[in-house]
Amino acid sequence: GDAGVMDDEGHITITDRIKDLMKTSGGKYVAPQPIESLLTNDNLIEQAILIGDDKPYVTALLVPNYEILKEHARSLNLTYHTIEELIEKSHIRELYEEKLEQLQKSLANFERIKKFKLLPEDFSMQLGELTPTLKIRRQIIIQRFSGVIDEMYAFA
């Protein structure tokens, strides 16, 4: 049930669980965990979940690192009252678009996130979105944010 790569010396590195592979409607397989790790290793992104199973392209729900985001907003003199208001600002949207462009340079075109949504709150164990070991419960998050996900594919 594992997917992996073999190096030149014959060592195998497990990279994903096969059951977690997404298959786009175009028939391309995408391993979400390595891409999600790539995203969350950046200081602007606290949590990320890729969506693309049976979809025409890959999208993502991103939870910003709110402290870093607030610092950035202060440096730009952006005024806001709530996190919801802050993440809707065009400067913030552009910041994340540029960041995704940088982070995805090494990915194949079909693996790249075409659309994303910034979320105003972290995924949580209390809502069943994370396991006790803080792993994402993909299906629960996809179900909870189905409306937001549908919006990202509305004009596909």
pLDDT digits over 92-151, tens only? 999 999 999 999 999 999 999 999 999 999 999 999 999 888 888 889 999 999 999 999
And the tokens for 155?
């004009």
- Residues 61-108 pLDDT 10s: 999 999 999 999 999 999 999 999 999 999 999 999 999 999 999 999
* Nearest of 104, 16, 1, 29 to residue 60 by alpha carbon: 104
